[in-house]
Structure 1
Amino acid sequence: MSTAIVTGATGITGTAVVGALTNSPDFTEVYTLSRSQKSTPHPKVKHATLDLQTSADEMSQSLSHIPPVTHIFFCAYLADPDEAEAARINGSMLSNFLEALIKSGQTKELRRIILTCGLKQFGVHLGQPKNPMREDDDPSLFWLEQEDRPPNFYYTQQRILEKAAKDAGNKWTWTVTYPQDVIGFAKANFMNLATSIGLYAAVSKELEGSKLIFPGNKINYLAFNCWTSAKIHAEFCLWASNSSNAANQRFIVINGDTQSWQDLWPRLAARFGCTVPEHMFPSDDGSGKEAYPGFESNSMKLHPRPPVSEVDAKLGLKGEFKQSEVNCQIDLQKWAKRPDVVKAWERLRDRYGLDQTAWDSATWDFLSFLLGRNYSNVASMSKARKMGWHGYADTWDEFQRTFKELEEAKMLPPVADLKGSHS
């Protein structure tokens, strides 16, 4: 039988991993680690408070009561706007944690470590990638480490993990996952995609006219993207933890479908009882630089060279890839501060007893980035499929399921009432 440690156990990916492990008959004990709040109670789960920013010696003391485990799922990370600082912080967190495990004896029976990273591996935050992204892409695309590129903490962590396995005499193996724009829910975790989209839709329904205007741009609306359900990612991690094919391998992990806002947005509007404007993009070129009437727009240029430009000549498109941009015809951060929007939220909050923290912690900047990109983000699951993974999730179904969880947690109003309400 197997036992596990999960770091970042109360985050969105960590919560889902804990759920998958507790539902698995193969795992008898799950030790969850987080800096503050406890994991969801379960007979298999034992929780410990651990600050990954402390030294290896301090962490080893916190871990001393945990017996040796067979698996470790590292789902923790700490965001920082300075990429170099993010690499330093997250690299230290992982290296000190691994050292602490050795000091406190947890690695004696260790078989595998699963490290959660993301599609920033391919520079999707820097601009247009080569589509579809694949694990066997040109090294200059898979490891974007050209002199003018910012550091990437995923690269730092993966090298630390590989070195640790080698230093241990390869007595244990590793697997790295790359999910994209994760859809999921975690109690008291308000920094997620579904919460912000749900709040935008619910407040739009409460406003006069009940129009659900796409805040981004027409290019993004018609582009194609892939998402990752936290649940399907957790199931993949469970599969990878015991699959010999997954040893010392890196995997893109997405739902398995390719989606677009042109399909999702009308569904979102229908779910929340809104209408989609007949002419949603007044800008002639669809760039989103022109504000939607009555609102303010915002624009941001990304890295001077989009990732795909590293192989433009190989693609027969030398010099054709221009600097990518994020353009929103509605500036969501300013939208959320408008008096009419704030009053609409407060009405919903008071009517349904909603959690004010959901609104205060909504990540409008992150949502703006996702809706305002002027390029597609499509990834391939071929490698995982060939190695035996057959999981699949429908992206819209995962949004629906997560919205329902947010309603039950009092972070979103109940959609049944919204549809019957009149602004």
Structure 2
Amino acid sequence: MEHQVPVALVVGVTGITGLSLAQALKQPHCLGGGPWKVYGAARRPPPNWFPLSTVDNFITFNAVNSTDTLGKLSPIAGEVTHLFWVTFQFLGDEEANIAVNKAMLQNVLTALTSTPSSRLTHVTVQTGTKHYMGPIHDPGNKSIVLNGHAPPFHEDMPRLPYPNFYYALEDLVASHAPSLSYSVHRATIIIGASARSAMNALMILSTYAAPPPPVAVPLPGSRYTWEHFCDMIDARVLAEQHVWAAVTERGKNQAFNCTNGDVFTWKSVWRVLSEVFDVGFVELDESDEFDLVELMCDKGAVWDEIVEKHGLEKTKLEEIACFEAIMPVLRFGFQHVSSMSKSRECGFFGHADTFKSIRFWVGKLREMKLIPSYEYVAKANGYH
């Protein structure tokens, strides 16, 4: 019998995980019988920096709109074998987040399964460590320190008594079993390259450090996070885990944490970024604490000048960097660390060196013309 090539629909393909996922699926030796056929989907047309060669077809549709979703996805419903859900809408209020994100995923699932010729077999859903911490970004929650679980986080911890759209998405995909298998990927802080992920920590810190600052640039935060452990996940390893779970029996109908497998302190990360951007490293001075959100709120015009002067992709600072999102992370009163034991026990061994990941992805951001080059930053700071 002729081997059928698996067909992926990556919803959120221009995001921080989506690009790495599409690239992984197109590799000749990708698990599942690669290279896969890949449909990439997003709410907006592909930006200039997105390499269209990584997908076989790019589909633009609004997942909130059931009619638009059905119209755009019905023609491929008889082809798609695997749905990779790596998108979300963040409205601030968690009840609103639940409503919109659940509706989006339900609309896509309906479009892909409502035809008799449907081939869909598996859905991967990306969530995160808010699963264990509670709604740290909810404006209704004024306290950053919630009554969350004690780290290290592991997958069998019970749900917290807070509304959380991650829980709603897990329940939705589980409700389709056994007709469909699913996997949930609880990613830690993701490091990758995209100008369409406003909560991309590396992009946020790059837009802060890359423009011509003083010779020494301080990092805001608390002494606790400066000195205690945290973890990250390289988007390439996260993509690898998505694919592994989608085609491996032990990955089915499970939730998995995903980290690089090592830990860091923000002090050590800031030292690496100071080297990468050729700015002076500054020790944390809590007596000189400043509000990063307030500091950057009027820097849009400065970013526009940098974009124009150095031929970068046309981006707006408020669209590519959410400084409100990074502040809770830099002020955690606990060690943000997730266990990878379950993944390893089930056969997933992907890992990365976080500091090498940072250097790699900063290079990619420069290569994609999303941030200024090293030569520009160095010259702006009077080093060369």
TM-score range, shorter chain: 0.7 to 0.9
Question: How many Å apart are 1:44 and its aligned residue?
Answer: 5.4
Match of 1:37 among 22, 34, 45: 45
Structure 1: distance between partners of 2:223 and 2:340 = 27
Could you tell me which residue of structure 2 aligns to residue 61 of structure 1?
71
Residue identity opposite 2:346 in structure 1: M
Distance 1:215 1:36 in 2: 33
Distance in 1 of aligned mates of 2:42 and 2:154: 32
Change (3 A) 1:103 1:268: same
CA drift at 1:344: 6.4
Give the counterpart letter for 2:268 in structure 1.
D
SS of 1:78's equivalent? coil
Alignment match of 1:267 (pick from 260, 265, 272): 272
2:22 matched residue in structure 1 = 18
Shift of 1:410: 2.4
Does residue 153 of structure 1 match 2:113? no
Q: Which residue of structure 2 aligns with residue 359 of structure 1?
A: 317
Q: Is the 8 A contact 1:112 1:172 kept in 2?
A: yes
Contact 1:129–1:377 at 8 Å: present in 2 too? no
Secondary structure of 2:337's partner?
Answer: coil
1:335-374 equivalences in 2 (<5 Å): 335-337=295-297, 345=303, 348-349=306-307, 351-355=309-313, 357-361=315-319, 362-374=321-333
Q: Which residue of 2 aligns with 1:409?
A: 368
* Distance (whole Å) between structure 2 residues aligned to residue 387 and residue 75 of structure 1: 22
Q: How many residues align?
A: 359
Separation (CA, whole Å) in 2 of partners of 1:346 and 1:221: 31
**1:170-218 deviations in whole A, cap 9, x for unaligned?**
1331111100111111255555211110121123xx234x112121121
| Secondary structure class of the residue paired with 2:176 | helix
Question: C-alpha displacement at 1:34, in angstroms?
Answer: 1.6
**Residue identity opposite 1:335 in structure 2:** L
- What is aligned with 1:71? 82
Task: Find the residue that maps to 1:335 and give its secondary structure.
Answer: helix
Please say if residues 229 and 265 of structure 2, whose CA atoms lie closer than 8 Å, have aligned partners that are also in contact: yes
Deviation of 1:259 after TM superposition, in Å, equals 1.1
The counterpart of 2:227, out of the listed 214, 222, 236, is: 222
Q: Which deviates the most, 379-388 or 11-20?
A: 11-20
Once residues 64 and 343 of structure 1 are traced to their aligned partners in structure 2, the CA distance between those partners, rounded to angstroms, is: 43
1:266-285 matched pairs, under 5 angstroms = 266-277=271-282, 280-283=284-287
Cα 1:105/1:230, change in 2 over 3 Å: farther
SS at the partner of 2:80? coil
Report the CA distance between 1:408 and its aligned residue.
2.0
Measure, in 1, the Cα distance between the counterparts of 2:254 and 2:265: 29
8 Å CA contact 1:225–1:378 kept in 2: the answer is yes
Question: Structure 1: which amino acid aligns with 2:169?
Answer: Q
Any unmatched runs of 5+ in structure 2? 137-145
- Counterparts of 1:8-407 in structure 2 under 5 Å? 8-23=12-27, 24=30, 25-38=33-46, 40-42=51-53, 45-55=56-66, 57-66=67-76, 67-105=78-116, 107=118, 109-123=119-133, 125-126=135-136, 127=146, 129-137=149-157, 139=158, 143-145=159-161, 149=162, 151-165=163-177, 170-186=178-194, 189=197, 191-203=199-211, 206-208=212-214, 210-277=215-282, 280-283=284-287, 292=288, 329-337=289-297, 345=303, 348-349=306-307, 351-355=309-313, 357-361=315-319, 362-407=321-366
What TM-score, normalized by structure 1, do the two folds share? 0.79
Structure 1's 384 and 390: CA in aligned 2 closer, same or farther, altered over 3 A?
same
Sequence identity, in percent? Answer: 27
CA distance in 2 between partners of 1:52 and 1:220 (Å):
37
Over residues 118-145 of structure 1, what are the superposed CA-to-partner deviations in whole Å (9 max), with x where a residue is unaligned?
11111254435311000123x2xxx113
CA distance in 2, matches of 1:408, 1:121: 34
TM-score by length of 2: 0.86
Structure 2 counterpart of 1:299: none
Q: Any stretches of 5+ residues in structure 1 without a counterpart?
A: 284-291, 293-328
Q: CA RMSD in A?
A: 2.3
Structure 2 distance, partners of 1:342, 1:59, is: 34
In 1, Cα distance between the equivalents of 2:286 and 2:338? 31
Instruction: Name the SS for the 2:36 alignment partner.
Output: strand
Corresponding letter in the other structure for 2:75: H
Alpha-carbon deviations, 1:377-399, whole Å to 9, x = none?
11000000011111111112221
1:133, 1:43 → 2: CA distance? 34
Equivalent residue for 1:4, pick from 4, 8, 12: 8
1:300-334: CA deviations, max 9, x gaps?
Answer: xxxxxxxxxxxxxxxxxxxxxxxxxxxxx221122
Counterpart CA distance in 2 for 1:3 and 1:372 is: 42
Separation in 1, partners of 2:314, 2:6: 40
